[in-house]
Amino acid sequence: MQSVLTVDSLAKRFPVRGKGFVNAVNGVSFDIAPGETLGLVGESGCGKSTVGKMIMKLHEPSDGAIMVHGKNIAGLSRKLMKPVRRQVQTIFQDPYGSLNPRMTAGAIVGEPLKIHGLASGRELTKKVAETFEKVGLRPDQMTRFAHEFSGGQRQRLSIARALIVEPEVIVADEPVSALDVSIQASVINLLISLQKEMGLSLLFISHDMSVVEHISHRVAVMYLGRIVEIGPRKTLFASPQHPYTQALLSAVPVADPSARKRERIVLKGDVPSPVNPPSGCHFHTRCPIAEDICRQKVPPLKRVASGQKVACHLREGVEAGKIGAA
C-alpha cells in the first residue's frame, strides 16, 4: 500500500553563534500507511519535535524530502502548500496557549473550514456541531470561550479543529503531556477511536513510552537527531534491540512484572550536546556495551531477525537500505 506520509533522509541544521551548527535532525526516514499510527519517541532534545515541525512546515528542512502521497512538500510555496496543509493537520501540546481566547469555541473549530473555503453559513455551523459531537463535546458549548473549558475539553477542541477539514494525516506533538494523568487516557482513547473511524494516519510524538505503547502500530526511537530503532510496536516493546531502547523501556513500570522481566538499566551521564555530538555512534558515551568501532563508525540501520531495524554495530542484521522501509 502506498504510504500517506514519507519522510526521506530528513535533516535540519540550526546555526549556533560561534559554534557552527546543531544537527537537530540527521538522516531521518520513515513512512506512515493509511490508518497507521507511528509513535516517535526519545528524550527531550532528540529532534522528534523538529521532525514534526518540518512536516507541519514550521521549519524548512536543510536536506531530505517530505512526501504527502508521493509529492514532495519540502520547499513548496505557501500557495501550493495550501491544499496539502488541509491533508496534514496538527494537534499541539498546549491546549491552553493554542486556542484564541477572544474567539468562541465554535468559531475556533470552524475557522479551518473558512480558511480552506470548504463551508460557510449554516453548513459551517452544522459541520462544527457535528464535529463537537464527534470529539465528545456538546453543540450547545459552541458559544463558550476557551477559558470556560477544562484542559481535557480544550484538547478535544484542538482535535475538533484538526479533524473538521477531514485530513489524512495528523501530527500530534505531546498532545496529552500537559494534561492530568487521569484525563490523558480519555483523550488518547478518543484519538484511537477517531483514527479508526476516519482511517487517519497519525504521527504521535511523545517522550512517554507507556502512552506510545498504547496508541502506536509502529514505533521509531530517536537519539541525538537519528533514528536508532524502528519497527512494529509489539516486537519493539517485547524485544528491544538497541541498547538505548532497552534502557528507555527498562524504566517503564509494567502492570504485570512477570509479563516483561526486565532489569532497570540506568544510563550514565546526560544526553550529550547536539552541538558537538560524540563521533561514530552518538550513543557510545552512555552505552553499556560500547566497543572501539562504536567511536569510529556510524552504525547503519539494519533489519534484525525479530523484524525491526536497529542502528547498532553489535547487532546482526541486513543493511536496511537494500530491503526497503520497515
Binding site for ligand SF4 (CB under 6 A): 242-243, 281, 283-284, 287, 289-290, 294, 299, 312-314
Residue 47 touches which member of ligand SF4, Mg ion, none, C-beta under 5-8 Å by kind: none
Binding window for Mg ion (CB under 5 A); candidates: 43-51, 115-123, 229-237, 259-267: 43-51
Residue 49 touches which member of Mg ion, ligand SF4, none, C-beta under 5-8 Å by kind: Mg ion
Cβ proximity to ligand SF4: between 236 and 294 the closer is: 294
Residue 226 touches which member of ligand SF4, Mg ion, none, C-beta under 5-8 Å by kind: none
Cβ proximity to ligand SF4: between 54 and 224 the closer is: 224
SS3 for the chain is CCCCEEEEEEEEEEEECCCEEEEEEEEEEEEECCCCEEEEECCCCCCHHHHHHHHCCCCCCCEEEEEECCEECCCCCHHHHHHHHHHEEEECCCCCCCCCCCCEHHHHHHHHHHHCCCCCHHHHHHHHHHHHHHCCCCHHHCCCEHHHCCHHHHHHHHHHHHHCCCCCEEEEECCCCCCCHHHHHHHHHHHHHHHHHHCCEEEEEECCHHHHHHHCCEEEEEECCEEEEEEEHHHHHHCCCCHHHHHHHHCCCCCCHHHCCCCCCCCCCCCCCCCCCCCCCHHHHCCCCCCHHHHHCCCCCEECCCCCEECCCCCCCEEHHHHCCC
Q: How far is the CB of 75 from ligand SF4 (least distance, A)?
A: 33
Residue number of the CB atom closest to Mg ion: 49
- Cα gap 274→245, rounded to integer Å: 19
Cβ proximity to ligand SF4: between 163 and 304 the closer is: 304
Q: How far is the CB of 28 from Mg ion (least distance, A)?
A: 15
Residue 318 touches which member of Mg ion, ligand SF4, none, C-beta under 5-8 Å by kind: none
Residue 299 touches which member of Mg ion, ligand SF4, none, C-beta under 5-8 Å by kind: ligand SF4
Q: How far is the CB of 37 from ligand SF4 (least distance, A)?
A: 26
Cβ proximity to Mg ion: between 94 and 111 the closer is: 94
Cβ proximity to ligand SF4: between 187 and 271 the closer is: 271
49 forms part of the interface with Mg ion (CB under 5 A):
yes
206 forms part of the interface with Mg ion (CB under 5 A):
no
Q: How far is the CB of 44 from Mg ion (least distance, A)?
A: 6
- Residues in CB range of 189: below 8 A, 6 or more apart: none
50 forms part of the interface with Mg ion (CB under 5 A):
no
Q: How far is the CB of 58 from ligand SF4 (least distance, A)?
A: 31
Residue 115 touches which member of ligand SF4, Mg ion, none, C-beta under 5-8 Å by kind: none
Contact 163/131 with Cβ under 8 angstroms? yes
3 forms part of the interface with Mg ion (CB under 5 A):
no
Q: How far is the CB of 292 from ligand SF4 (least distance, A)?
A: 9
For the beta carbon of residue 268, count every other beta carbon within 10 angstroms. Answer: 8
Residue 309 touches which member of ligand SF4, Mg ion, none, C-beta under 5-8 Å by kind: none
Helical packing angle, 151-163 and 181-198, nearest 10°: 20
Q: Which residue has the cell 538522516?
A: 27
Q: How far is the CB of 46 from Mg ion (least distance, A)?
A: 9
C-alpha closest to that of 36 among 217, 231, 220: 217
Count of residues engaged in binding Mg ion, rule: CB under 5 A: 1
Cβ proximity to ligand SF4: between 100 and 279 the closer is: 279
Q: Which residues of the shown chain bind Mg ion in the complex (CB under 5 A)? A: 49
